[in-house]
Structure 1
Amino acid sequence: MADQLASLADFAALLHVDVADLHAPAATLLIECATAVVQEVAEQRIVRATSTVTLEPSPGRWLWLPQLPVVSVASVTLDGTVFASGDYSVRGNRLWRSAGWQTAASWETAGTLAPSEIEVTYTHGYADGAQELQRARQAVVALAGAVYANPSGVTRAQIDDYAVAYEAMSARMEAAPYLRHGLRRYYGRSAGLITLGG
């Protein structure tokens, strides 16, 4: 099932109808499309999920994880070596390791560091019902509601085509720069949080 940042009940409330009066498959599709648009704009998978990512960090003690907020870290593997939880610590949305994120095996004969490869499995995003989801929920319901209430805004008469609905919502989002900016500011990683050095 695709991510959903709003429910059918949220959608029905926006349209002032009972959930039973919705065309549930179309409404669900539109919620999923709107969620995809909102998460793309925010540059984050806002919903709670578990991901495995492969990263190539620069030398130093800090490692940023790409999806925010970080809830927990299940495993960290550095150049094939699985770390115990005591070998690193989770600090906000970063991992810290006193020895840094390069291994002795990563030294090349020339004496320069070759990139290490780190695989991290972690849980991120906001739990269902979290207050932090309200902005995204509002954006999803507004985008989906506009297309559902006005299917002629889509380029075809039917609204059961994911690509067409997604394109229509993306166009609406492009027309609302204040909304795009707000979602990125609220859910994205702030440039002011980047730490330089080790």
Structure 2
Amino acid sequence: MADQLASLADLAALLHVEVADLHAPAATLLIECATAVVQETAGQRIVRATSTVTLEPGPGRWLWLPQLPVVSVASVSLDGTALVVGEGYSVRGHRLWRSAGWQSVGSWETAGSVAPSEVVVEYTHGYEAGAQELQRARQAVVALAGAVYANPSGVTRAQIDDYAVAFEAMSARMEAAPYLRDGLRRYYGRSAGLITLGG
């Protein structure tokens, strides 16, 4: 099932109809498309999920995880070797820290230059369903889905059930609403997670 940042009940409330009066397959599709547009606009997946990512770190001690907020880290391996939290690395907010850096000894070439290491991380990220932090995204999804559901000719009547067509229509609406687009990027984008208070 695709991510959904709003429910059929949310869409029905916006349209002032009962959930039973919605064409459920089309409404669900539009919510999924709108969720994809909102998450793409934010630059990351917002809903709570577990991902496995492969990263090629530089020579420093810090390693940023790509999806925010980081909830927990299940496992980390460096060039195929499992690391133990507290011994091999530590989790600091949205980053991983390793005193020896993220280049393994085996990554040094005979000439003395460093070949890229590979770090594989399994971690949980995003906001839990019902979290207050999701309300902006929920509002945007309902607005996008509602506009298309209420005016299917804006998508193309013959293709209302076509994911690609609905997605493109919503993307165009998002581009036409810079205040909404910029607000989502500001609230959910990486820069929101990079603010550090104090020294």
Provide the TM-score with structure 2 as the length reference. 0.94
Distance 1:32 1:41 in 2: 14
C-alpha deviation, 1:155, in angstroms? 2.9
Which range is displaced more, 74-83 or 151-160? 151-160
Instruction: In structure 2, give the amino acid aligned to 1:39.
Output: Q
74 and 104 in structure 1: CA distance in 2 versus 1, 3 angstrom threshold: same
Match of 1:35 in 2: 35
DSSP 3-state at the match of 2:190: coil
Match of 2:118 in 1: 117
Match of 2:17 in 1: 17
DSSP 3-state at the match of 2:77: strand
Match of 1:143 in 2: 144
Q: Do structure 1's residue 160 and structure 2's residue 157 form an aligned pair? A: no
- What are the equivalent positions in structure 2 for 1:6-155 lying under 5 Å apart? 6-86=6-86, 87-155=88-156
Give percent identity, aligned residues only.
88
C-alpha deviation, 1:156, in angstroms? 3.6
Instruction: In structure 2, give the amino acid aligned to 1:159.
Output: I
Please give the root-mean-square deviation of Cα atoms over the aligned residues, in Å.
1.5
Match of 1:5 in 2: 5
Distance 1:192 1:63 in 2: 14
Distance 2:137 2:179 in 1: 14
Match of 2:182 in 1: 181
Distance 2:85 2:137 in 1: 33
The answer to whether the Cα contact below 8 Å between 2:72 and 2:125 also exists between their aligned partners in 1 is yes
191 and 25 in structure 1: CA distance in 2 versus 1, 3 angstrom threshold: closer
Task: Note the alpha carbon deviations across 1:69-121, whole angstroms, 9 max, x for none.
Answer: 00000110100101112221111110111111111111111212111100000
Distance 2:91 2:22 in 1: 44
C-alpha deviation, 1:191, in angstroms? 8.4
Which consecutive aligned stretches of 4+ in structure 1 deviate over 4 angstroms post-superposition?
none
Q: Work out the number of aligned pairs and report it.
A: 195
Distance 1:77 1:178 in 2: 41
The answer to whether the Cα contact below 8 Å between 2:68 and 2:193 also exists between their aligned partners in 1 is no
DSSP 3-state at the match of 1:95: strand
177 and 126 in structure 1: CA distance in 2 versus 1, 3 angstrom threshold: same
DSSP 3-state at the match of 1:85: coil
The answer to whether the Cα contact below 8 Å between 2:159 and 2:165 also exists between their aligned partners in 1 is no
Structure 2 segments unaligned to the other structure (5+ residues): none
The answer to whether the Cα contact below 8 Å between 1:78 and 1:116 also exists between their aligned partners in 2 is yes
Distance 2:29 2:194 in 1: 36
Distance 1:156 1:99 in 2: 59
Distance 1:51 1:158 in 2: 33
C-alpha deviation, 1:165, in angstroms? 0.6
